Amino acid sequence: MAAGMSRNFNVYTPDELAVFAEKLVNAPVYVEHVAVENAAGKVTKCTYDQASRCLIYEAEIYDQAIADKVRNGLIKHVSVGADYDALDVVDAKVPHGLFNPELSLVAVPGIPETNVQVLEHLAAGKSGVERLEEKDLNFIAEKVASKISENDSAALEKLKTEIVETNSRLSESEGKLKTTESACAETKNQLTIANKTIEDLRKQLPGGGLLKDPPVIMPVSEALALVKGVLPAPLVERAWGFGPQRLCQDIKRVIQTLEAKAGGK
């Protein structure tokens, strides 16, 4: 992607591309633009080059058939798709705030300068597993070696410090684990006691169980309300004969017994 006007009359400014570069990292690579079934890989690196006023990218292709077409030179261009926050319309369109990008392998690009080059060649090993060629391994080794210098001793010391700190945190975690195991054992002991208490309750309750076929139990307060509900008013009681009055006396004794059970309430 280059600063300037594309074939579809979009004008990309250098400032916009400089901001957009990091947004393109980890964007998917499609074939002929957005469609999930056309996904072939992803962008792994992207920077804006001020000298050429272009976006320089690296991408990995996971689809073997597409990778072979790239290696054989059948796919030579890419095209970027993205949304934008605003659009200036002059003699062309000038998008601003590009986001949600994707990169596509295309036959006819919007910007003719776009291109694809193979960074690393893969060859099938004897075991059938793909491996890097020796020249590629040498290239990688040289890149790694170029980053090693005497100044790396500080980084090494930092790494050692981080290892010591990690070991310290590991020891602390092991101590917490032992504490947790001890608490777990105590919880199991309490659970055993609770189960024994439940079993004792089962033996004490009528029917011998808490959950399976429990006996029908009514609160004393409800029973007391029911009995009081059938007791006639004193005026009615005095108007009755001796027999009904005797029955009312028996009901009153039942009420007194239930009140005693309910704690005098």
State residue 18's pLDDT score.
92
Q: Averaged over 153-179, what is the pLDDT?
A: 81
How far from chain centre, in Å, is Cα 11? 39
With both helix axes pointing from N to C terminus, report the angle between 242-261 and 220-230 in degrees, rounded to the nearest 10: 160
pTM of the entire predicted model: 0.38
CA-based end-to-end distance of the chain: 88
* Mean predicted lDDT score pLDDT of the chain: 77
Residue 99 has pLDDT above 90, yes or no: no
- What pLDDT band is residue 60 in, cutting at 50, 70 and 90? very high
Reported confidence tier of residue 143, pLDDT bands at 50, 70, 90: low
Say what the pLDDT of residue 122 is: 40
**Cβ proximity of 57 and 42 under 8 Å:** no
| Token pair of 260 as six digits | 């005693």
Q: 6 or 206: whose pLDDT is higher?
A: 6
- 36-52: per-residue pLDDT in tens? 677 889 999 999 998 88
| Cβ neighbours around 48 below 10 Å, total | 21
Buried b (16+ CB within 10 A) or exposed e, 234-252: eeebeeeeeeeeeebeeee
Phi, psi at 194, each rounded to 5°: -65, -40
Instruction: State the pLDDT confidence band at 31, using cuts at 50, 70 and 90.
Output: confident
Instruction: Please write the tens of the pLDDT for every residue from 206-258.
Output: 555 555 566 667 788 888 888 888 888 877 777 777 788 888 888 888 888 88
> How do the domains of the chain map onto residue ranges?
4-128, 184-214, 220-261
What percentage of the chain has pLDDT greater than the value 90? 8
Q: For residue 131, what are the CA distances in angstroms to 52, 134, 136, 205?
A: 34, 9, 10, 75
pLDDT of residue 141: 56
Q: Does residue 121 contact residue 71 with C-beta atoms inside 8 Å? A: yes
SS3 of residue 233 by DSSP: coil
Range of lowest pLDDT (60-74, 102-116, 136-150) = 136-150
Which has more confidence, 151 or 195? 195
